[in-house]
Chain A
Amino acid sequence: MTDPLIIKGIEFKSRLWVGTGKYKNFEETARAIEASGTDVVTFAVRRVNIIDRSQENLLDYIDPKKYKILPNTAGCYTVEDALRYARLARETGVSDMIKLEVIGDEKTLFPDVCGLLKATEILAKEGFIVLPYTNDDPITAKRLVDAGAAAVMPLGAPIGSGLGIRNPYNIKIILETVNIPVIVDAGVGTASDVAIAMELGCDAVLVNTAIAEAKDPIMMAEALKHSCIAGRLAYKAGRIPKKLYASASSPIEGMLI
């Protein structure tokens, strides 16, 4: 069954998006990505090590022809820094997309919403396909749409926390509020978290730590692949309403009375 997600004309076959940080090595990164079945991976932009040139390049392991590259502005705490990183990322020539992060606080890594809105507006005007990492606030999501975001990426819980989808009701309201794709970014701990996000109707889920720091990252990547598909199918199939009392599954008719 093909059920692609389309953002600004870009077709994503997989609704599970995968980050490439925190793995033991590049080989493990590549294997986990393969096992996840994803076709989009996130990268960060950092200085080349000019002292030790023996270090390998991640692009030797992840072919940009095979995967869509979604660069991020992770680590940026100001609008100026986020713009700088986004422009550097685009200059690589592999992607016009940017997972925009303007972080407000080191301990929580929660977004600085004021900065995020400003940076989204500027980058969207420059022709970027902006995917802002935001909190689970429907009003912010609405403002991001007005600022030109191509999708919104609300957090399920703090980055790397593994706490899951802490406020499914807000995510649901975001889904009802905006008319652009909603991709849960951050907070996933295990397979059921991905399924919950997808059952709510989210368009995709981005996961990094839950895979990279699992005891067996390759197996976890595969687990999340299945839970993402399961959650999406369940959403499309339409769940039954919750009821307080029982409703027998076997007929009364024909019983030996």
Chain B
Amino acid sequence: MKVKVNGVEIDVMADTIAKLLKELDINPSRVVVEVNLEIVKRAYFEQYKIKEGDSIEIVNFVGGG
């Protein structure tokens, strides 16, 4: 299905946040995920179902002042 991840529309096999992170090769312990402007707690990554057209943001810390 098609979802928007970090502003880019991509086709994914995953149907949960946990699977999406695995598919994108992203370490879940270092990121925060927001789906349609709502933060998804890390504890819910396994069960949180993503659906067609969701707008997903995956963020982490970078250098900054």
Complex formed: what's the CA distance from A23 to B11 in Å?
Answer: 35
Residue A45 is within 8 A (CB to CB) of chain B in the complex: yes
Residue of B nearest to A47 (CB): B6
Q: How far is the CB of B42 from chain A (nearest CB, A)?
A: 8
Complex formed: what's the CA distance from A44 to B25 in Å?
Answer: 22
Residue A158 is within 8 A (CB to CB) of chain B in the complex: no
Residue B59 is within 8 A (CB to CB) of chain A in the complex: yes
Partner of A50 from B24, B32, B61 at Cβ < 8 Å: B24
Residue B8 is within 8 A (CB to CB) of chain A in the complex: yes
Tell me the count of chain B residues lying within 8 A, CB to CB, of chain A.
26
Residue A216 is within 8 A (CB to CB) of chain B in the complex: no
Residue pair B59, A46 in contact (C-beta under 8 Å): yes
A50-B39 contact given A42-B65, A88-B34, CB 8 Å threshold: no
Q: Scan residues 1-15 of chain B and give those whose CB is less than 8 A from a CB of chain A.
A: 5-8, 10
Residue A208 is within 8 A (CB to CB) of chain B in the complex: yes
Residue A91 is within 8 A (CB to CB) of chain B in the complex: yes
Residue pair A74, B64 in contact (C-beta under 8 Å): yes
Residue pair A19, B65 in contact (C-beta under 8 Å): yes
Residue A20 is within 8 A (CB to CB) of chain B in the complex: yes
A46-B65 contact given A53-B24, A59-B30, CB 8 Å threshold: no
Residue of B nearest to A51 (CB): B8
Residue of B nearest to A61 (CB): B63
Residue A227 is within 8 A (CB to CB) of chain B in the complex: no
Residue A92 is within 8 A (CB to CB) of chain B in the complex: yes
A74-B65 contact given A53-B26, A57-B30, A91-B39, CB 8 Å threshold: yes
Residue pair B32, A88 in contact (C-beta under 8 Å): yes
Which residues of B line the A interface, CB within 8 A?
Answer: 5-8, 10, 24-27, 30-32, 34, 37, 39, 41-42, 57-65
A selection of 25 A-B contacts at a CB cut-off of 8 Å is A20-B64, A22-B63, A43-B64, A44-B61, A44-B62, A44-B63, A45-B61, A46-B59, A50-B5, A50-B26, A50-B58, A53-B26, A57-B30, A57-B60, A57-B61, A58-B61, A58-B62, A59-B30, A72-B65, A89-B32, A91-B39, A91-B42, A92-B30, A92-B60, A206-B65
Sorted nearest first, the 10 A-B pairs with minimum C-beta distance are A44-B64, A19-B65, A208-B65, A20-B63, A43-B61, A47-B6, A91-B32, A21-B64, A21-B65, A21-B63
